[in-house]
Structure 1
């Protein structure tokens, strides 16, 4: 795909809120990226334009059959006032994997990364420098054929919107409470569990709301067959530190290949800490707790980076992890990854891309 990126700047700019008023995903910047697809033209009409409503027919296929994918990444303002992205190529590569399963046509990854860099550069004033803030980047593709019938669409719209954000969880970096459900399942192997499509998140809503009513932050899903093996938390991959070794469920076709998950694995290995990607059962976790071998539990994800887990509940049993306080390794990982993102420590992995 060879095309030019057209730029149409907004005539008026929005008022920017104070950093402590950001929240997560409720405020949007002045511009967005849009690109269209048709069978005849391929991907075309790439432009950066003022953020605003879309004019769409009510019959377009995404509304009825859910053919869509999305991604989520962040831009940061470093301590020396640079604006940087964290592993953008890796996120867009994962998006390319997702579109295969949703029968969406391939796009030029390098062009999209460059378009995102241009968009963030235009909106760099929206990248706050306060600790814990970032500019959340949401690329997504929707099927746009006005057609009521089950087949892949012939037309699509690729968009990128930006949102300045604070902490994802109200707890911030304090430990969260997780409910392990064996009543509901989210995804099965060889389905859509390993891609970022809205269907996965719709499937998690009911169980997530039930958990919140009981005072929990998120649901931890078990495998859908035996309801025995740990898979992932609703918005995070999950890690367990047992006897000094860090264990995380292996990618098995129903778990999202998290970019932060991969980053944590690489950082841990560089520190010489034993790491294992394997099947791990909920019974093993509770047995390790009973035997005094379960040292830490934490989740990883783009939104929260590292989220320590202070309490797990399964059935009628609750266990407090590390006395309900943030563990040493969780804190060290959080400091290492956010340190790279905010330019407070060296990037030894080549993950930081300057805008």
Structure 2
């Protein structure tokens, strides 16, 4: 593929843009979207940017019946000088292909799709908000489109990229959240699809999350699916604990998503010479450390919030309160540094950002 093959059809009438201080997540979309088709024997083709509009799919399209789909989530940020930056987008496209391999979806050309994405963002630059804390959310995804009820990988696919301006994740400042440690339901096991960003991983967690919210928790912390003992991740976030001066996060075991923010946090901590380890950590080990007064901070990491401090964990009737329900010093420093790099306010010595 080459960039010359990208067709661009501009919309005739632009939408009215929402007020940037009141944008709910994921309900407002820009004027254009990206599409590309795959056909076995032909490969990916017909890359195009067209006006945002509904799709037409055959009722027998395999996505509806067997859930063969993958997606990604990243953001574009506006700097104080008015530039538009992406944060490590090549890592998201690498992960899209890793997810695709697990779901038997043919790989995309990562470099080429990044160029298509940059072209789409450039076309929609006016949609990147400039209010502090806001950004343009980017959702690439691939769905199986072959009309066939036989069980097996589709022979045709559609890739799309949607853009959605989003408000500040923390309206009114960062507030530590309360998390329920899930003991009944299982999110993923090694050898399953936990390491892939695929639709079923998220909808299978809805019931546990709903139960947790009924008891005043914001989300659930998943334990491993075999022993129900080892900590894995929180909903849509990776999890970190600062224990007696060392930052600990669960090692990638095949059932945990390899988060881009997680990766960036680890690289930052290493550059600051903060002791950090990726290893198996049991919930009872964490509770024992908590009882000894050794757990200093806890926080989740992800694209949406960057850093989401955890103020409380509820496990089998036991309550662990971290840092008096306040954001910790290290969590705040990590948040300020990552968001500063993303918005061009902090020097990007790691060369993580890509300017549009």
Q: Bin the TM-score by the shorter chain.
A: over 0.9
Structure 2 distance, partners of 1:317, 1:172, is 28
Structure 1 distance, partners of 2:38, 2:343, is 36
Aligned residue runs from structure 1 range 251-330, under 5 A: 251-330=252-331
Contact 2:25 2:167 in 1 (8 A): yes
Structure 2 distance, partners of 1:139, 1:172, is 29
Q: Aligned residue for 1:209? A: 210
Q: Following TM superposition, by how much is the alpha carbon of 1:167 offset from its aligned partner in structure 2, in angstroms?
A: 3.3
**2:20 matches 1:32:** no
Contact 1:23 1:168 in 2 (8 A): no
Structure 1 distance, partners of 2:95, 2:156, is 21
Contact 1:24 1:167 in 2 (8 A): no
Q: Aligned residue for 1:120? A: 121
C-alpha spacing 1:236/1:172, structure 2 compared with 1 (3 Å): farther
C-alpha spacing 1:152/1:111, structure 2 compared with 1 (3 Å): same
Write out the 4+ residue segments of structure 1 that deviate beyond 3 Å after TM superposition: 167-172
User: Structure 1: which 5+ runs fail to align?
Assistant: none
Aligned residue runs from structure 1 range 113-262, under 5 A: 113-168=114-169, 173-262=174-263
Contact 1:5 1:48 in 2 (8 A): yes
User: Structure 2: which 5+ runs fail to align?
Assistant: none
Q: Following TM superposition, by how much is the alpha carbon of 1:64 offset from its aligned partner in structure 2, in angstroms?
A: 0.5
Alpha-carbon deviations, 1:46-85, whole Å to 9, x = none? 0000011001111100000000000000000001110010
Give me the TM-score of the superposition, normalised by structure 2.
0.98
Aligned residue runs from structure 1 range 83-102, under 5 A: 83-102=84-103
Q: Aligned residue for 1:107? A: 108
Contact 2:236 2:302 in 1 (8 A): yes
For structure 1, which segment, 166-175 or 20-29, has the greater mean C-alpha deviation from structure 2 after superposition?
Answer: 166-175
Note the aligned Cα RMSD (angstroms).
1.1
Contact 2:38 2:44 in 1 (8 A): yes
Structure 1 distance, partners of 2:171, 2:79, is 24
Structure 1 distance, partners of 2:174, 2:48, is 37
SS at match of 1:58: coil
